[in-house]
Structure 1
Amino acid sequence: MQPHNRRTFLALGLLTLTAACTGSHRHDPDGGDQRPDPDQPVRLRAVAATDTLLAAYDALLAAPGAQTALLQPLRAETARHRAALTAGTPSTPSTPPPTTTSPTTPPTPTTPAALAVLERQTAQSRLADLGAAGPPLARLLASVAAANALHAAALGAPAEPPAPAATPTPTGTTPGTSAPALQKALSAEHAAVYGYGVVGAHLPEDQQRTDARTAYAAHQSQRDAWQRLLTTLGATPTPAAGGYRLPFPVTDPAGAVKLAAHLETGLTTVYADLVADLPAPHRPAAATALRDCALRAHRWGAPDTPFPGIPDPTDPSPTPTTPTTPTT
């Protein structure tokens, strides 16, 4: 990986944006107007899939020789996913119903490897529902799907090959209001491409540098995909900024690894927001980018979170704000 031939810096503000709340205002706790929830069918499917996962975790934890240290934290995160998916929907049970079987119920996994497969299948089912969900729920589903992918990795699933950068095909229903969100994602990818130049320049010739090259190419590809889409929409893609500021000094391999983890973690926020901002047919591309960034952040040693890219909807503590304007 060749570093850029001009001096540039990576802006923290381009990669860590304050996420919007995913809450809903359908229910008046004082007994006032309660409108039907258009997301209810999607929520019910998502909750049912989560209940299946919870039952699988419980079955494995009850088995002799259960890997408790591995399974219990993942099960706890899955329960938090359920709580977030049922928030604001009083008609949805707040606790999982008794496990039942039917011809369509998948068999209960009996090994962590089988549970990893179920986690990946659940992630795909959430992405399949993105188009039917309102923007806040779509954002939550994309985040939880990324968490499912992280769970599969923790359970020992082989690494997923990076998905090719997807350029959604514009349609006549694509609103022009998508352009600012796409420009923001493009700006973040410009920063990531440069950032990985810094990362690669400080890593020795080993597996980490190979991983950095792979990530560098993936971000170049995603950058190019957003540029093509913006051009097709009639917008002029935002060029790379003339100067960005690194969030911290990078002078050795440890700093390079820390920067790579920072880059990917920041991009999960960008892509979670983009899922909510894009029209329904184009959300899977942003959700896939969110998943891939979350998995790369994990491989670089970033702490996993129950909700990649968004604040925990089940945590009442206020969200800290971060700067959003780069210093040039």
Structure 2
Amino acid sequence: MEPHPPASRRARPLSAPAAVRAVVLAVAVALLAGCGVRLESPPPSEPVPDATELVRRTAVADALLVAERAGSTTTSPDLPAPVLDELGRIAQDAHAHARELGGEYRSGIEEPDEEAEPSAEPTATGPATPEAVVVTLVDAAARNRAAASSTSGGDLGRLLASVSAAQTVAATRLAALSGIPTPQAPSPQVPEPSQEEALPATPTPSASEPGSVETTAPGDGPVRPPQGMTAADYRALVASEDGARYALEVRAARADGDVRARLLDRSRAHGQRAEAWARLGAVDGTDQDPRRVAYQVPADDDAVLVRTLERGLAVDYATLVGTTAPGSRGVLVDLLVDGALTLDAWGQAPSPFPGMPELDG
């Protein structure tokens, strides 16, 4: 048998204070080690925006630039009161556009040196004049028209189309009040059925290469038939357009002079669109063709009748922008813009969101 070690060399149990000190030391070491790991982790970085977010941010920046330019122009003492009132309305609507689009993006990540970073706020670099505001509105409207047609989100596309229509109306009104040449408006043309094949979709900004947003307006290129419309959608459009044709034709027969010419011109436009939608929807001359010989015409005066018809069609086209496929909504966007311009020409108070009655309040 091996001899027992001397008592002085035998392991002794730790006293209570010593045990507590050991535990505290172990916990401290573990915490320090954990802190070391966190300190070595890379700081959070800004996420790369996808195509939809890039489109949204661009629309917000455009709206805020319009608001800034219009607001700064209202300080000019030399402008007549109607121009100042219109500039104030434009600025107010532009702020509403920015809010409804979601406002400026804020990641919550603090920059290392915020003072050294350029400001992301839109800045009016040109002179504060009505001409500068008109140019800003026209540019913003063109970008939103293109984005409304191409963005993947239907709800965002509908909103962008409505904002573009409002900006186009604002540019037209301000130009007329200021004696500036009227900006060119889109000329909608419903495509023929034969155009449905082999037309490339409108490109969208790449999520991996954020940068400029496509600014070519839908009406500037080949007209692509809307993809995703149902047979019921086609029949509803044909009936609405043909009903508008008939009502305005009846009223034109009772009018004279300039009013008669304007009513007839608009009646012909609606009749052509009804025919084109009937052909595109393959209901022309079939049992499914909803067009009738006569329709009931409301007993409103001419201007009220036109506004009632155009508001209904604007809602129809805005709704279809939200339900059809990206890259094929161009004609629907242009028809919404055209309807908003017609409403303004017939005395409708400007709306910040044409075709979206739920936001009119």
Give the TM-score taking structure 2 as reference length.
Answer: 0.65
CA distance in 2 between partners of 1:88 and 1:121 (Å): 19
CA distance in 1 between partners of 2:127 and 2:102 (Å): 25
Q: Equivalent residue for 1:185? A: 237
Task: Tell whether 2:129 aligns with 1:111.
Answer: yes
**Residues 143-200 of structure 1: CA deviation (Å, up to 9, x unaligned):** 1111011101210252645614231732489766533323222221111111111221
Q: Equivalent residue for 1:269? A: 315
- CA offset at residue 224 of structure 1? 2.4
- CA offset at residue 86 of structure 1? 0.7
CA contact (8 A) 1:119 1:151 kept: yes
1:142 to 137, 145, 161: 161
- Cα distance change, pair 98–37 in 1 and its aligned pair in 2 (3 A): closer
**Residues 22-57 of structure 1: CA deviation (Å, up to 9, x unaligned):** xxxxxxxxxxxxxx9873221111111112211211
Helix, strand or coil: the match of 1:241?
coil
Helix, strand or coil: the match of 1:141?
helix
Q: Equivalent residue for 1:208? A: 259
CA contact (8 A) 2:166 2:352 kept: yes
Task: Tell whether 2:86 aligns with 1:70.
Answer: yes
- Cα distance change, pair 109–312 in 1 and its aligned pair in 2 (3 A): farther
CA distance in 2 between partners of 1:154 and 1:216 (Å): 24
Task: Tell whether 2:243 aligns with 1:217.
Answer: no
Task: Tell whether 2:58 aligns with 1:45.
Answer: yes
Helix, strand or coil: the match of 1:273?
helix
Q: Equivalent residue for 1:230? A: 281
Structure 2 unpaired stretches of 5+: 1-48, 109-118, 177-181, 202-225
Alignment of 1:143-162 (within 5 A): 143-157=162-176, 158=182, 160=184
- CA offset at residue 281 of structure 1? 2.2
Q: Equivalent residue for 1:6? A: none
CA contact (8 A) 1:53 1:78 kept: yes
The percent identity for this pair of structures is: 27
Helix, strand or coil: the match of 1:129?
helix
Alignment of 1:1-328 (within 5 A): 39-66=52-79, 67-86=83-102, 98-100=121-123, 107-130=125-148, 131-157=150-176, 158=182, 160=184, 163-167=187-191, 169-171=195-197, 177-204=229-256, 206-231=257-282, 238-241=289-292, 244-246=295-297, 248-250=298-300, 255-313=301-359, 315=361
- CA offset at residue 85 of structure 1? 0.6
Helix, strand or coil: the match of 1:118?
helix
- CA offset at residue 216 of structure 1? 1.5
RMSD after superposition: 3.1
- Cα distance change, pair 109–219 in 1 and its aligned pair in 2 (3 A): farther
CA contact (8 A) 1:127 1:145 kept: yes
CA contact (8 A) 1:202 1:256 kept: no
- CA offset at residue 267 of structure 1? 1.1
CA distance in 2 between partners of 1:299 and 1:226 (Å): 25
CA contact (8 A) 1:182 1:274 kept: no
Helix, strand or coil: the match of 1:281?
coil
Bigger Rg, which one? 2
Task: Figure out how many residues of one structure are paired with residues of the other and give that number.
Answer: 265
- CA offset at residue 287 of structure 1? 0.8
- Cα distance change, pair 194–162 in 1 and its aligned pair in 2 (3 A): farther
Structure 1 unpaired stretches of 5+: 1-35, 102-106, 316-328
- CA offset at residue 264 of structure 1? 1.2
Q: Equivalent residue for 2:216? A: none
Greater fraction of residues in helix: 2
Helix, strand or coil: the match of 2:144?
helix
- Cα distance change, pair 216–244 in 1 and its aligned pair in 2 (3 A): closer
CA distance in 2 between partners of 1:190 and 1:75 (Å): 37
CA distance in 1 between partners of 2:296 and 2:354 (Å): 24
- CA offset at residue 232 of structure 1? 9.7
